[in-house]
Structure 1
């Protein structure tokens, strides 16, 4: 998945399992290595970390699809009330994603990518390219339309065909 907002480019991709061979601990067998590539005037940076499980990556893809289906609701909500926001987080606090409505009906969604802990780029914290949240947390915003979210979901589902779950999982009710 690749995002750009002018000077700032971010690539997020799944590059493998944390443990290429299945482990004795079933849950460990499903951790995925996520690669972040950042390109901006402050510098370039690449980082690989086991940030999500197969199930969490699937939830992210489903979340993106659901947000795309409800893009019109997001857009209309903004014009009447406060922004409508949806956030997805994971077991490891390295990455999180958030969608918010914006007043511009042509670009109805703001897509925010949070990077924390090991996934925080090493750039100067005073750079104008990042907003700061909690200590050791940075985020960058991109504008999106529902079709963009569908493309992100499709790319993620495609990646998961190469890295299927190796753990039996029953989704809680």
Structure 2
């Protein structure tokens, strides 16, 4: 997935399993290596970390599709009330994503990518492309239309065809 915000670009891709061979611990077999590539005036940066599991990528895909489905509701709500916000977080605190409504029906979402822990770039904290939350996290905002969210979900779904779950799903009681 690639996002651009003027002269700031962020690429996120699934590059493999953390453990290429299945492990004795079923849950460990499903950790995915996530590559982040940033290009901005502060410099380029690439980082690979086991940030998400197969199940979490599936959840992210579903979350993006659901948000895209209700894009019109998001923008209508923004025009009449306060912004709607939805956030998805994961087991590892490296990545999180947030959608916030904006009053523009053509681009009804502000898409925020949170980077923290091992996935936080080493750029100077005063870099204008990042806003700061906690001292241990940075984020960058992009604008997104429902079609952008569908495209992101499609790219993640395609990645899961190359890196399917190696853990049998057991439905909780």
What is the TM-score normalised by the length of structure 2? 0.98
Question: Could you tell me how far apart the structure 2 residues matched to 1:172 and 1:141 are?
Answer: 36
1:130 equivalent in structure 2: 130
| 1:170, distance to aligned residue in structure 2 (A) | 3.1
CA deviations on 1:29-74 (whole Å, 9 max, x unpaired) are 0000000000000110000000000000000001000000010010
Question: Could you tell me how far apart the structure 2 residues matched to 1:106 and 1:166 are?
Answer: 40
2:166 equivalent in structure 1: 166
SS, match of residue 148 in structure 1 = helix
CA deviations on 1:69-124 (whole Å, 9 max, x unpaired) are 01001010100111000000000000000000011222110000000000001000
| 1:2, distance to aligned residue in structure 2 (A) | 0.3
Root-mean-square deviation (Å): 0.9
Question: Could you tell me how far apart the structure 1 residues matched to 2:67 and 2:101 are?
Answer: 11
Question: Could you tell me how far apart the structure 2 residues matched to 1:43 and 1:136 are?
Answer: 20
Q: Where do 5+ consecutive residues of structure 2 fail to align?
A: none
SS, match of residue 33 in structure 1 = strand
Distance 1:99 1:19, change over 3 A: same
Aligned positions of 1:25-44 closer than 5 A: 25-44=25-44
